Structure 1
Amino acid sequence: MAGQATFHIDERDHLASLRAANVRQLRSRRFLIRITTLSIVAASVLGGILFAVGEYPWTAVIAVVSGVIGGLAALALLIGLTWLLLPRRARRLYRQNRLLQRQVTARWSDAGLEWETSSGHTRLGWDDVHAWQSDTRVTLVYLTDLLFRMIPAHALDSDARQDLVATLARHAPHRR
């Protein structure tokens, strides 16, 4: 079934979309592989150096475990700080990007997706959609891992939201 929504994106919508995209990146397999690989390499290098230099092998083991725990704690601190600063960044980026502040009409059908504003018209076939995700605040349609279009939940009644999600589920890969 075809559907349509006309809306203005506000700062809260923009923040919700950035938070959803941020969580998606943190939950991605790519992020977990990178963190795991970095931890193993760092632990191996640190352990090798300490084992070669130290008199007691257990000292190296304790230092490696402490280093991995400290590194993961530092990573958690950086992720938390990024999360806390995200509202400030969202407000700043929203004010900079005039395109976000224009009225948007989004359309969806079995043929694809369309976004229309006063400055242009974009038509996407389903092959152009990389992934999608939806939560209570926003539905994101990804064109790449980081580039997305959004439809805020307040722009849709429950039937339109169900239709949009069903259309996306039929035609586009769903990656959380």
Structure 2
Amino acid sequence: MKAPMTATFRISEDDYLAAMKLYARLTPLRLVLVAAIGVLLALAAAFGPPLVQTGSVGGLVGGGSVLLGTRFIVLPLMARRHYRKYKAIQEEFNAEVLDHGLRLTLPNTDHTIVWQNVLKWRHDERFVLLYPMPRLFHIVPKALAAQGFDLKGLLERLNRHVGPPV
């Protein structure tokens, strides 16, 4: 077994915003649910009695506005605000994949996230998010692989110990 490789990173405000967009991405089940509601409202708007049509159009416009407004206006504003207030996330991190977990170190903190304490995880082309709680996650940039970080090993261990990504 080769020695663990430590990689260093700093989360920028844009990184944090992109990670929050990944966090807010709908799961396949929720995406199907939203689509089904949209189809039902569209059918009711097209074929229902006049009162139902009016309510359905209102639901489509209102629901669509809320979804789009939340995703493209509220989320970016709140993410940038949270990043600016959360000083610890602006510090430089070290990350290291271990057999029993992911070790994250900061200047004043040394923490290992053990695999059995990871509730779920997800990833995209830029980040891996590890969730120890339903709404709390740790961000691991995939760009760390360029420093020799064992990204493949991290993904394999997450699949083996936590399950498939959500």
Q: Shorter-chain TM-score: which interval?
A: 0.7 to 0.9
TM-score scaled by structure 1?
A: 0.73
Q: Which has the higher contact order (CA 8 A, sep 6+)?
A: 1
Q: Which of 20, 23, 48 is the equivalent residue of 2:22?
A: 20
Residue matched to 1:173: 163
- SS of the aligned residue for 2:122 comes to strand
Deviation at 1:70, TM superposition (A): 2.8
**Structure 2 counterpart of 1:81, one-letter code:** G
Map 1:77-116 → 2, pairs under 5 A: 77-85=65-73, 86-116=75-105
Structure 2 residue runs of 5 or longer lacking an equivalent are 41-46
Q: If you compute each CA radius of gyration, which structure gives the higher value, 1 or 2?
A: 1
Contact persistence 1:130–1:173 (CA under 8 A):
no
Distance 1:64 1:149, change over 3 A: same
Residue matched to 2:58: 70
Contact persistence 2:100–2:114 (CA under 8 A):
yes
Distance 1:159 1:101, change over 3 A: closer
Contact persistence 2:127–2:140 (CA under 8 A):
yes
Aligned residues: 156
Contact persistence 2:145–2:151 (CA under 8 A):
yes
Deviation at 1:12, TM superposition (A): 1.4
1:18-70 per-residue CA deviation (whole Å, 9 max, x = no partner) reads 000001xx326468669979xx9xxxxxxxxxxxxxxxxxx974433542443
Q: Which has more helix, going by share of residues?
A: 1
Residue matched to 2:44: none
Residue matched to 2:13: 11
1:49-97 per-residue CA deviation (whole Å, 9 max, x = no partner) reads xxxxxxxxxx974433542443133122111111222333222211110
Structure 1 residue runs of 5 or longer lacking an equivalent are 41-58
State the alpha-carbon separation in 1 of the partners of residues 153 and 15 from structure 2.
20
- SS of the aligned residue for 1:140 comes to strand
TM-score scaled by structure 2?
A: 0.77
Provide the alpha-carbon RMSD of the alignment: 3.0
Residue matched to 1:49: none
Residue matched to 1:45: none
Residue matched to 1:44: none
Deviation at 1:160, TM superposition (A): 2.6
Q: Which of 129, 143, 146 is the equivalent residue of 1:140?
A: 129
**Structure 1 counterpart of 2:162, one-letter code:** A
Deviation at 1:112, TM superposition (A): 1.4
